[in-house]
Structure 1
């Protein structure tokens, strides 16, 4: 009885190895919508052998006619291919994989423009907002009654503002603030009127437009109207100031 079992086992083993040795190699290439195709799974469901594609999508795996190859990747739809005899003979055996797209059911756009430091209670609602130049000037000139100043005048004021005043830093920061304001006025003016307006309507040479902008923002009456953003009134004032500026240009060119 034992001899029969041993003979059966030897026959079964030989049959198994004989089938394994009969496996052929199939070579192919995966194509998809991306250029780098490295790391896509290629699985033979019958032999459970697994290989991976290279960066060009090429692969080679042992299989038989009728075996099922599974192609799978994180960003691709799973695909099964039943091998036929032509697949082993065809050197250009190719498999195309489709992409997985995650579709959104709904897109909601919310307006969070009302959320700011004031609405969150971080700063008081009536607190003045400062530009960069304004903050520098305020910090340089602000007298702090709580500062001791090392015994200066009984320690009633901060020492830094006095140093800034003596050294001339305060004057420098005031000039910086004025420059910042003028630049802001000029940006506003350029948003309201393009170069064609200055050339066609005001009859100004192209290379004098920037100089005219500096000229008008030096006019306090004009900047007050500019802050109101009344385009009709601003346009009227520009037409009034343009001849005066052209007279200045004419005098300089004499």
Structure 2
């Protein structure tokens, strides 16, 4: 037992004077403790020792405001990636091969498409409501208070309006609302006659 010690270089290589049956002990506070008994073959070749990191269970993790850390900055997803909703993931997973035929025959594919469309409309309605623009409906666009929800549903049916809503640019949204309010009011006037 010589108790000789050494350290690895930057590439993890080391050398030490050892004889057959000597015991090498590898230690680092971040790695699992490891022992290796020198064999006759070890003395004739360069051998590799694979160490593993210690796994420590944390009792508590405190995350400060690291808003710059996200899936894009970590390289998990590409910029512009939009996380699919649960219904979109379900729709994608139900397709392919015989499942497509079965889903079409049973009507499940149609039901999934309907549910997905309904879900998207609700998401768009929620986005619109978060903008809190209802004060404009009556004052600027002449839509009666009783018909505000109906007007919102009319708005989210228009692709150009949805593009403006997605941009979250308030003035662009208001411009599209003004355009659609004219059509909506014409429809409402024709229904009340």
Distance 1:116 1:228, change over 3 A: closer
Q: For 1:204 and 1:162, how far apart are their aligned partners in 2?
A: 46
Distance 1:160 1:202, change over 3 A: same
Q: Does 1:195 align with 2:134?
A: yes
Match of 1:251 in 2: 190
Q: For 1:131 and 1:109, how far apart are their aligned partners in 2?
A: 26
Q: Does 1:228 align with 2:167?
A: yes
Match of 1:125 in 2: 77
Q: For 1:209 and 1:195, how far apart are their aligned partners in 2?
A: 7
Q: For 1:168 and 1:223, how far apart are their aligned partners in 2?
A: 29
Aligned residues: 130
Match of 1:241 in 2: 180
Q: For 2:170 and 2:85, how far apart are their aligned partners in 1?
A: 25
Q: For 1:116 and 1:245, how far apart are their aligned partners in 2?
A: 41
TM-score using structure 2 length: 0.59
Q: Deviation per CA, 1:35-81: give whole Å up to 9, x if none.
A: xxxxxxxxxxxxxxxxxxxxxxxxxxxxxxxxxxxxxxxxxxxxxxx
Unmatched tracts of structure 2, length 5 or more: 1-61
Q: For 1:243 and 1:179, how far apart are their aligned partners in 2?
A: 25
Match of 1:213 in 2: 152
Conserved? CA contact 2:141–2:178, under 8 Å: yes
Distance 1:186 1:128, change over 3 A: closer
Q: For 2:135 and 2:127, how far apart are their aligned partners in 1?
A: 16
Q: For 1:182 and 1:228, how far apart are their aligned partners in 2?
A: 16
More strand by share: 1
Match of 2:103 in 1: 164
Displacement of 1:113: 4.3
Match of 1:111 in 2: 65
Q: Deviation per CA, 1:213-236: give whole Å up to 9, x if none.
A: 111111111111211122111111
Displacement of 1:118: 7.0
Q: For 1:120 and 1:236, how far apart are their aligned partners in 2?
A: 38
Q: Deviation per CA, 1:7-58: give whole Å up to 9, x if none.
A: xxxxxxxxxxxxxxxxxxxxxxxxxxxxxxxxxxxxxxxxxxxxxxxxxxxx
Q: For 2:72 and 2:92, how far apart are their aligned partners in 1?
A: 21
Match of 1:139 in 2: 93
Q: Does 1:174 align with 2:113?
A: yes
Conserved? CA contact 2:160–2:176, under 8 Å: no
Higher CA-based Rg: 1
